[in-house]
Structure 1
Amino acid sequence: MRVLTRSAGPAFVVAGLLHFLKPRLYEAIMPDGLPAHRALVYASGVAEIAGGAGLMAADPRVRRWAGRWLVATLAGVFPANVHMARHAERYPDIPGGRTTLLARLPLQGAFAAWVLAAGHRSG
């Protein structure tokens, strides 16, 4: 369990950095009705980097804050996951297609539990 909770911070930092390295990938999954796709991709990248860095902090208060921050971030990007599942035909490169995209939706709850556990880890 310790490895899992300690890996959450670095995992979210890397995920956030990918928003800047591969922004088109993230823009492609944005719901059509949202404005400023590039800006939102960058904002969510910053949110993931900040949350991931917070999970690596020595101060347990910062880690707890970061866990809650990342749960809010996951909730904020959840519409993109729903959009992908509803429009699976737009994402033919996803192995398993719609089934995989639908299966990803409840995994967001597991990610939320992961970051909360990481935020509450000791030491």
Structure 2
Amino acid sequence: MPRTPSSPALLAGLLAAVGAAHVVAPKPFDAIVPRVLPGRPRTWTYASGAVELAVAAGVAHPRTRRAAALAAAALFVGVFPANVQMALDARHRSPVWRAVVIGRLPLQVPLVLWARSVSRGHAAR
């Protein structure tokens, strides 16, 4: 089985970039908020962006890295329904777009494994 990358700085950077994107350009994220969630999609978009930014800061700091990386793993699992919603909404889009969004679904697994690896303190080699 191939090794999962475990760079804390790279994980923190990914989380920070996605969290910032939720705030700077929220519209695409609003569109994938599962409809079963109560309230306005924008509220969920901003809340998830804030969580991603907080988790990124935690992963970046050695004293909070373990807990924050575990939170990142949970976050990657928690946003999976939004990715499923995106795939469902792609039914009426181009075949290329459908392939992209469906292909994204299994990518959550290596993200979860990466975050767990960072939580264990494995250094990237």
TM above 0.5: yes
Greater percentage in helix: 1
Aligned to 1:84: 86
Amino acid of the residue matched to residue 12 of structure 1? L
Amino acid of the residue matched to residue 73 of structure 2? V
Identity level (%): 33
Structure 1 stretches of 5 or more lacking a match?
none
Structure 2 stretches of 5 or more lacking a match?
none
Q: For the residues of structure 2 that align with 1:119 and 1:91, how far apart are their CA atoms?
A: 38
RMSD: 2.1
Question: Could you tell me whether the CA contact under 8 Å between 1:74 and 1:112 is conserved in 2?
Answer: yes
Aligned to 2:22: 19
Using the size of structure 1 for normalisation, the TM-score is 0.83
Q: For the residues of structure 1 that align with 2:122 and 2:109, how far apart are their CA atoms?
A: 22
Flag the 1:115–1:90 CA change in 2: closer, same or farther, 3 A: farther
Aligned to 1:100: 100
Using the size of structure 2 for normalisation, the TM-score is 0.82
Q: How many residues align?
A: 118
Are positions 1:42 and 2:58 aligned together? Answer: no
- 1:46-98 CA deviation, whole Å, 9 max, x = no partner? 11111111111122xx1110111111111221111001112214655xx8222
